[in-house]
Amino acid sequence: MASDAPADSVPALPDPVSRARLVDAVRFDRDGLVACIAQQHDTGEVLMMAWMNRTALEETLATGRVTYWSRSRAALWRKGETSGQVQRLIDLRLDCDGDTLLALVDQTGVACHTGRRSCFYRAMRGDALVALTEPEADPAELYGR
Amino acid sequence: MASDAPADSVPALPDPVSRARLVDAVRFDRDGLVACIAQQHDTGEVLMMAWMNRTALEETLATGRVTYWSRSRAALWRKGETSGQVQRLIDLRLDCDGDTLLALVDQTGVACHTGRRSCFYRAMRGDALVALTEPEADPAELYGR
């Protein structure tokens, strides 16, 4: 199962000291969060944007599996824990002012809870807001509902 | 001058009604802002992430020139107005829950105030946080300092 994949994709951060150095460079906001964009490392597709707190970021770096902070559930959100649609971390980039992360990932299956590859699937066409892509997976199956 | 380029790149949103329909689908946060990721439309490079309020979004859609809201200056930030490094809007995508935008843009020159193409240029290599790219432009020239 993909969620048991080893964290062999993050050779750059083997030790706690290096990981702490990166975490310390992040400027978390007043809620203790930092925005993280997930991009498929080889295709360049922007998959989603979500939030990390310090613990989520540390866990992401330590395990090589991307973990967010769910603001709606107020809990760690180990991406793919329920759905199996995990994000393996390839590299983590920090922006110029330290308040946004770009995670280059290898996305298993789909990133979006609607079953679409990317969350950014809506756009205006003519005078209507339309879905540009169709679901590739059935959310009911992904989430066992 | 690039900042005088016509807004001929946004054929999908010719009228105020269509633009309002998109703006109304956005879930602005408690500060009246929405996160917007800028991605170079043809290369897939993630350039930056910044914020828009309703006015910035409306102006972006009406002019085809990307305009953000500067939280530090508490003012509209017409990208490239000072530096000439404008972002022409190619398409605007809204994510599944409506709280993040993905702007596909054509970036003139560099997106980052450091003179680098992308703001996401820092990463851990070994035990050091390093710059992965060098400036392509001199910030002193871009900003006339």
Among candidate residues B56, B70, B65, the one with its CA nearest the CA of residue B26:
B56
A/B interface, count of CB pairs below 8 Å: 117
- DSSP-assigned letters across all residues of A114-144: TS-S-S--EEEETTEEEESS--SS-HHHHTT
Q: Which residues on B lie below 8 Å from A143 (Cβ)?
A: none
Characterize A43-81 residue by residue with b for buried, 16 or more Cβ atoms within 10 angstroms of its Cβ, and e for exposed: eebbbbbbbbbeebbbbbbebbbbbbbeeeeeeebbbbe
Average pLDDT, chain B: 91
Q: What is the pLDDT along chain A (145 residues), one digit of tens a residue?
A: 334 444 444 454 668 999 999 999 999 999 999 999 999 999 999 999 999 999 999 999 999 999 999 999 999 999 999 999 999 999 999 999 999 999 999 999 999 999 999 999 999 998 899 999 999 999 989 887 5
* Residue in the structure block whose two tokens are 């800028």: B38
CA–CA separation, A71 and A77 (whole Å): 9
Over residues B4-8, the mean pLDDT reads: 43
Domains of chain A, by residue range, sit at 2-113
Whole-number pLDDT of residue A143? 85
Q: Which two tokens stand for residue A112?
A: 């979006």
Among candidate residues B92, B89, B121, B131, the one with its CA nearest the CA of residue B106:
B89
Query: Is B95 marked as binding a ligand?
Result: yes
Question: Is the pLDDT reported for residue B5 higher than 80?
Answer: no
Q: Which two tokens stand for residue B47?
A: 């350039």
Question: Is the pLDDT reported for residue B9 higher than 60?
Answer: no
* Residue in the structure block whose two tokens are 């969620």: A3
Distances (CA, A) of A2 to A44, A76, A85, B92: 21, 19, 8, 33
Question: Is the pLDDT reported for residue B45 higher than 80?
Answer: yes
What is this model's ipTM?
Answer: 0.91
| Cβ proximity of A100 and B119 under 8 Å | yes
Whole-number pLDDT of residue B128? 93
- Which of the pair, A5 or B48, is modelled with greater confidence? B48
Asked if the Cβ–Cβ distance from B44 to A49 is below 8 Å, we say: no
Amino acid at B36: C
| Percentage above 70 pLDDT, chain B | 90
CA–CA separation, B67 and B87 (whole Å): 8
Q: CA A29 from chain center: how many Å?
A: 18
Whole-number pLDDT of residue A32? 98
Within 19-38 of A, beta carbons closer than 8 Å to B belong to: 19, 21-22, 25, 35, 37
Q: Which two tokens stand for residue B74?
A: 């508490």
Whole-number pLDDT of residue A7? 43
Q: Is A10 on the interface with B (CB under 8 A)?
A: no
Q: A2-113: what fold? A: Ubiquitin-like (UB roll) (3.10.20)
Task: Report residue B4's pLDDT band, with 50, 70 and 90 as the boundaries.
Answer: very low
Q: Is B140 on the interface with A (CB under 8 A)?
A: no
Distances (CA, A) of A84 to A80, A90, A141: 4, 18, 11
pLDDT, tens digit, 9 for 90 and up, residues B64-121:
999 999 999 999 999 999 899 999 999 999 999 999 999 999 999 999 999 999 999 9
pLDDT, tens digit, 9 for 90 and up, residues B13-43:
668 999 999 999 999 999 999 999 999 999 9
Q: Which residues on A lie below 8 Å from B124 (Cβ)?
A: 12-13, 18-19, 21-22, 92
| Cβ proximity of B131 and B124 under 8 Å | no
Asked if the Cβ–Cβ distance from B44 to A45 is below 8 Å, we say: yes
